[in-house]
A = this chain, B = another copy of it.
Amino acid sequence: MRKFVFLLCFIFAQYVMFHTAIAQKRIPRNFPEYGFFLNKQQLYLQELLEFLRFPSISASSEHLKDVQGAAEWLRNRMLGAGISNVQIFQVGKYPLVYASIPAAVPQAPTVLIYGHFDVQPASVEDGWNITKPFKPRVIQDKIYARGASDDKGSLLSVVHAVEAILAVSQGRSPVNIKLLFEGQEEIGSPDLPSWLLKNRKLIQSDLLISADGSMHSENIGSIVWGLRGAGAIQVNVTGPSHDLHSGGFGGVVQNPIHCLVKLLESMRHENKSIAVEGFYEGTRPITQKEKDFARQSIDFEQELSRLAGVSQLAGGESELFDTVERLWFRPTLDVVGIWGGYMDQGIKTVLPANAYAKLSFRLVQEQVPEKVVEKMIQHVSQHCPAGCSCKAFDLGFHALPFESDPDMLSNQVLRETLLDIYQGEEPKYVRSGASIPIVGFIQKEFQIPAIFLAFGLPDENIHGPNEFYRIGSMDKARKAYVSFLYQLGERYHLEHSSKKPIESHVVTTSPMENVEMDHSEL
């Protein structure tokens, strides 16, 4: 039955260009697992709230125990889901939860589903006024808590989906499933790459599915075909050997805050492009096809202005590139933190001994985080103003840029799934300015294509105060995973008599050069 429905839809899909926005009448597929989900909404919600109560902040050493706590909670929940072989690996200082579930058919493809249970730092002072970051609060359809949208919500739905598949099919999974849930994503997964390289067998698969990411909106899904890479450094500027009186020394001893300001300003040209030598190495001009394809998808100006609460999108290279180009195809350099001197009430006339800044950058195309970090450190040492000493160091947050072919087979299956989940609404083909460090790495090192199946939404304040997730997204997510895994298995079975990789090409450069619909794989 399942195969029959699939075939119908498959034939139908031949006539629909993936980027047309015309909503088609379709018969949404149904899976017996959806019945398994019925009446479990309240239970699933309570589980998520429990999961969210761990302040699993990977950036803070004092919260390491909570990252560990979240990992153990997750392992127990996975065991409860009928996944028999769940392991916690110690990766650097951080736990990683891993499991593998064999398919019923020996020739079935293997998918590696990725998510993370660590979260960004959060404190009430940042502006959390609906609830405390780790006291989840439900208001109507929204669950407020740090990590709700990024990434505990989507991650937990993967477990719910796998549980349903195992329960309904009596353990007969349609594909080989590997689950890789990590606890250091928010600090750039510093220890994970070397662990992955040492554990190739555990990782090797035909497709990487990231449960970290987001959809376009409540009623429209998205297919992500690009992410920016990332890196980060800290800059420490030192002036006098101790804090001085700004009257007794102001004007004769160099103020490290002045040095820092001058140094940071030296990193940008007047037209706001980055002045750090070598920063742009590995970038290339944006192709006309990329531009055209990008512009079809979203009204960036309105959408982003509204989400950010600004009247004008003026950041980055705004004099050189338009909004979508800047967000998807251009690197950026952001000062994400700055501090020095007196930051309390009133005034203290101090000439401080030190000033600090944290900088993060987003990378595209062939830029390599380690190289950019090096160039940045070089710039800092070469542009330190007289009278100060300046030091920069790598904060260990590295992410390779990610690009894929929007039309590869797994994205076609993804489109089918999203059409069903979103009642026939065509998904948007999008990129994101954000980074998921490990996705670019796995794609490059293991030559595995990657897709994104995660249900956070852009207005959910991830990394900011009052982060939230929608209860409705939980249902979409678990159904989508069931649907995608079954369809993938069927599609694979349909197309391949003997086992071979699902995709024959992993795009790492100029994906738009062959973005034309290519049905040769179908």
Contact = CB atoms under 8 A, between A and B. Distances in A.
A271 to B, nearest CB: 13
A274 to B, nearest CB: 10
A369 interface: no
Given A261-B264, A315-B250, A349-B232, A309 B241 contact: yes
B315 A336 contact: no
Nearest to A123: B344
Contact of A257 (B232, B330, B335, B387): B335
Which interface residue of A232, A300, A308, A458 has the most chain B CB atoms within 10 A?
A: A308
Interface stretch (A32-40, A276-284, A428-436, A497-505): A428-436
Given A254-B310, A315-B252, A461 B242 contact: yes
A1 interface: no
A136 to B, nearest CB: 19
A340 B337 contact: yes
A240 B461 CA distance: 12
A228 B253 contact: no
Interface string A239-259: 111111111111111110110
Contact of A247 (B340, B362, B396): B362
A327 B252 contact: yes
A142 interface: no
Nearest to A463: B245
A187 interface: yes
Contact of A127 (B242, B335, B339): B242
Interface stretch (A171-179, A350-358, A439-447): A350-358
A120 interface: yes
Contact of A239 (B310, B348, B387): B310
A499 B356 CA distance: 60
Contact of A341 (B241, B260, B336, B352): B336
A335 B323 CA distance: 34
A337 B343 contact: yes
A275 interface: no
Contacts of A252: 300, 304, 313, 315-316, 318, 323, 326-327, 433
Nearest to A259: B314
A348 B123 CA distance: 12
A60 B358 CA distance: 28
A349 B150 CA distance: 13
A360 interface: yes
A93 to B, nearest CB: 12
A340 to B, nearest CB: 5
B127 A243 contact: yes
A55 interface: no
A338 interface: yes
A315 B433 CA distance: 40
A61 interface: yes
B310 A241 contact: yes
Contact of A355 (B127, B308, B316, B338): B338
A386 B312 contact: yes
A262 interface: yes
A50 B486 CA distance: 78
A257 B309 contact: no
| Closest CB pairs A-B (n = 10) | A241-B309, A314-B387, A247-B434, A251-B316, A251-B332, A59-B346, A337-B341, A243-B464, A337-B342, A240-B308
18 contacts: A59-B346, A59-B347, A60-B345, A120-B348, A127-B243, A240-B309, A243-B463, A246-B336, A247-B362, A247-B432, A247-B433, A250-B332, A252-B313, A252-B323, A253-B314, A254-B310, A337-B340, A337-B348
Given A242-B466, A247-B362, A338-B341, 16 more contacts: A59-B347, A127-B242, A187-B346, A187-B347, A230-B247, A243-B461, A244-B463, A250-B315, A250-B334, A251-B362, A253-B308, A253-B310, A257-B357, A336-B350, A341-B358, A349-B463
